[in-house]
Amino acid sequence: MGKPVRRTNDPSILADPRARYMLLVEGALSEIVPRLEQLDPPVTYHTFFGDFSGGPGMTIWWGFARRADRERAQSSGLIDEIRQVTATALVAKGYPEAAVASELFIGFTSDEEIEAGGGEFTFFR
């Protein structure tokens, strides 16, 4: 038998620096995604990945169905609101407030742009 697998609901995993920030972001996003899916235009996609060192450096991508939806969200100020909601949710979960300005990237795209860029694997490289 191998090593027992730690579950994400196990509080001791938060002490693991390699997993701490990834789990923190996962928890924050799971709380705000339902609200973002109700926006006009709705957020239809999200992904995130972290710093390989286990630090707070984090990249979060939010996506809309079409490029025109992303452009409309940009021109209406909705993208700025989503950035703020994201940062607020992260800090509420324990993400370092100082890292929001220096180590957090929040980007926006669309399903159309991801596909035009060669799919997820190629687009996010």
79 within domain boundaries: yes
pLDDT tens by residue, 84-105? 999 999 999 999 999 998 999 9
21 within domain boundaries: no
Domain count, the chain: 1
74 sits in the region (left: phi over 0; alpha: psi -120 to 50; else beta) called alpha
Question: Per the omega criterion (within 30 degrees of 0), is the bond before 34 cis?
Answer: no
pLDDT tens by residue, 18-73? 678 888 899 999 999 999 999 999 999 999 988 777 778 889 999 999 999 999 99
87 within domain boundaries: yes
pLDDT score of 14 more than 80: no
The residue range of the domain holding 117 is 43-123
Whole-model pTM: value is: 0.82
